[in-house]
Amino acid sequence: MSLCRLVVTCPDRVGIVARVSSFIAEKGGSITEANQHSDLETGRFFMRYEVETRNMSVDSDSFRQAFACIAKEFDMQWQWRDGEQRRRRLMIMVSRESHCLVDLLYRWTAGELDCDIAGVISNHEDMRSVVEWHGIEYHHVPVAADDKTSAFSSVEKIIENSQADTIVLARYMQIIPPALCERYSGQIINIHHSFLPSFAGARPYHQAHTRGVKLIGATCHYVTQELDAGPIIEQDIQRVTHCHTASDLVRLGRDIEKSVLARGVRWHLQDRVLIDGNKTVVFS
C-alpha cells in the first residue's frame, strides 16, 4: 500500500480532527489532502483524508484494528481504502443513447476512472459492438413491459456474478425496482437530463422547450426509491436560445450529460461524495 484514503462520517464534536490526525501521525502516515465539513443543521461531521503510507509502521489490517477504537468512541461510519482494495467494479447500464456510455469507456481507457468495468447491461442490443471492442462483457436483458420482475431478477444476478459494487445508469431508460435501489443504496448513480428538480420525469428537453427556459441542464444523482429525487452529486447547464428546437436541446444536452455524469462517477470512485441525508457533501 502507498496512497490510502480515510473517509469518516460521525456526529460532530470537539476533538475529532485532533484525534484522527494524531493517530495517523503516530503511525507515520502523512496527510496529503484533507477535507472536512460540519453540517450545522444535522450536526453531522464529514472528513476525507488522503494519506501517504510509505513510512507507516503498520499495514492496513493493523491500521483498521487500531482505528476501530477511535471509531467506536466517536460513533463513526468509516472506511480505510488502500491501494489493493481501492479499485471498485463498475456495472454500466444503458438503453439506446450511446453518448454517456462511450464517454465513460473513453475516460476509463484514458485512465481517468479508477475502477474496473465489470460489464455493461442493456435492454437493447445496440451497444454490443462498441462495448465488446473495448473487451468488456455485454449483457442483453430485454425488459418486457409485462414482466419487469424477471428482467430485473436477471439484472441482479448479473451484477452479483460480476461482483460489481457500483452501478452507473448511463441513460438507462427503465425504472430500477425498489429492492435493487435498497440493496445498492448509495452505489447507483444516474444521469438525469434536466436541471433537477425542474422537469423531473419523462422527456425533460421537450418540457424545457415548451417552458421556454434559457438554460438547460443535467443532474447526476444517487438513485433512491423516489424517482429523480435522490441526493444530487453534480449539475451543470448550457445556455440555449429561442433558435434552438427541442432536438437541438437534445443534442446540446448530450454534452452536459456526459461531462456531469463523468464528474459524478469520478468523484464517487475517489470516495469524494459523502451522503448527508438527501444531500451530498462533495470534496471535489
**Which residues participate in catalysis according to the annotation?**
228
Nearer to its own copies, 152 or 267 (CB): 267
The sign of the torsion formed by the CA atoms of 217, 222, 226, 232 equals negative
Contact call for residues 92 and 121 (beta carbons, < 8 A)? yes
Q: Draw the binding track, 102-121, toward its own copies (x: CB under 8 A; -: no contact).
A: x---x---x-x---------
What is the footprint of its own copies within residues 253-272 (CB under 8 A)?
254-255, 259
List the beta strands (DSSP E) in 87-158.
88-94, 115-122, 138-140
- Number of residues assigned to the chain: 284
Residue 197, interface with its own copies (CB under 8 A)?
yes
126 near its own copies, judged by CB under 8 A:
no
Task: Rule CB under 8 A: say whether 1 interacts with its own copies.
Answer: no
Q: Pick the binder of its own copies from 1, 3, 173, 282 (CB under 8 A).
A: 282
Stretch that binds its own copies, among 65-73, 140-148, 176-184, 229-237 (CB under 8 A): 229-237
Q: Burial code of 144-174, b = ≥16 C-beta within 10 A, e = fewer? A: eeeeeeebbebbeebbeebebebbbbbbbee
Residue 213 interacts with its own copies (CB under 8 A)? yes
| Closest of 97, 104, 78 to residue 5, by C-alpha | 78
Among 62, 215, 226, 227, interactor with its own copies by CB under 8 A: 215
Question: Which region among 34-42, 83-91, 157-165, 177-185 touches its own copies (by CB under 8 A)?
Answer: 34-42
Segment contacting its own copies by CB under 8 A, of 69-77, 81-89, 94-102, 136-144: 94-102
**Helix or strand holding residue 163 (H, E):** none
The C-alpha angle 134, 139, 142, rounded to 5 degrees, equals 140
Return the C-alpha cell found at 75: 460513533
Specify whether the CB–CB gap between 199 and 208 falls below 8 A: yes
φ/ψ (deg, to 5) at 160: -55, -55
Q: What string of DSSP letters covers 214-248?
A: SEEEEEEEE--SSTT-SPEEEEEEEE--TT--HHH
Q: Is 58 in the site for its own copies (CB under 8 A)?
A: no
Does the footprint of its own copies cover residue 34 (CB under 8 A)?
yes
Q: Is the CB of 145 or the CB of 202 nearer to its own copies?
A: 202
The yes or no reply on residue 22 touching its own copies (CB under 8 A) is: yes
Check binding of 211 to its own copies (CB under 8 A): yes
Upper half-sphere CA count for residue 112 (Cβ side, 13 Å): 15
Site for its own copies, rule CB under 8 A: 14-15, 17-19, 21-22, 24-26, 28-34, 36-40, 55, 98-99, 102, 106, 110, 112, 133, 195-199, 211-215, 217, 231-237, 241-243, 245, 251, 254-255, 259, 276, 278-282
